[in-house]
Amino acid sequence: MKKNILYIFMLCTCIYCTSKKHISSSKDPSVKSVIENERLNILYRGIKNYLTIYVPQSDSITVSGLGVYKEGENKYSIAPSTGTSMEITIISFVKGKEIIEKREFRIVNLEKAFASIGNKIGKITLSKEELATSKIEYFIPQFVMKLGRVGKFRYQINDEEPTVNYGDEFNKSAKEKIYNMKSGDSMIIDNLNSNPELQNVDLKKVTELVIDIK
């Protein structure tokens, strides 16, 4: 009987002495999340804004907020709609301690898009060779996010009928027409299309690009 009591006493002592994982909620200034965003603290309305978010030495991390979606490990996207700012909450566990952090972003509207060659917009002058080998791109002033490739565009030489060109470079037929152009002739490029990342933004109504041949 005494032996049984002794065993029970020793068992209780071991259980009491066993270390326990302590979890507490804290806003620890020494632990801060890292957000990789090429647009700093800016989010663009109407499109997916991709962010990499992680907390060094954390066991786990969750990110929440209106329009926040997890795309993969430490990869998130945010598609803001209304308002001029939004806040996300980042919860991480570092050495058993729960760290809660809030980050605020500004929401801005996309400006009007332009058809461009080498970020040149409006009316430009090129040689036939420069035009034939150029790449047609979207351009939005003060927009640092890559807009992706143009799927197709429309071009018109002088008073000829407009022609659709697929891809972001001139095809063989278009190049032949360009090399037959003369100094003083002009081409209008508009109706850029196809970019799934910007499906909520009407980029077909881009400001046209006018090219005069040297």
* Alpha-carbon 120 to chain mean position: 23
What tokens were used for 174?
């278009």
pLDDT at 27: 56
Residue-level pLDDT, tens digit, the chain, 214 residues: 444 444 443 434 333 333 333 333 445 555 556 666 655 688 888 788 888 888 888 888 999 998 899 998 889 999 888 899 999 999 999 888 999 999 999 998 877 889 999 999 999 999 999 999 999 998 888 776 667 789 899 999 999 999 999 999 999 999 999 999 999 999 999 998 865 555 555 555 789 999 999 9
**One-letter amino acid identity for 147?**
L
**Residue 113, pLDDT score:** 85
Q: Can you tell me whether residue 170 is helix, strand or coil?
A: coil
* Rounded CA separation 207/191 (Å): 9
- Helix (DSSP H) and strand (DSSP E) numbers for the chain: 3, 16
Cα(175)–Cα(181) distance, rounded to whole angstroms? 10
Distance, in Å, from the CA atom of 197 to the CA atom of 201, rounded to the nearest integer, reads 9
pTM flag (> 0.85): no
C-alpha distances in angstroms, 76 versus 54, 63, 155?
10, 8, 38
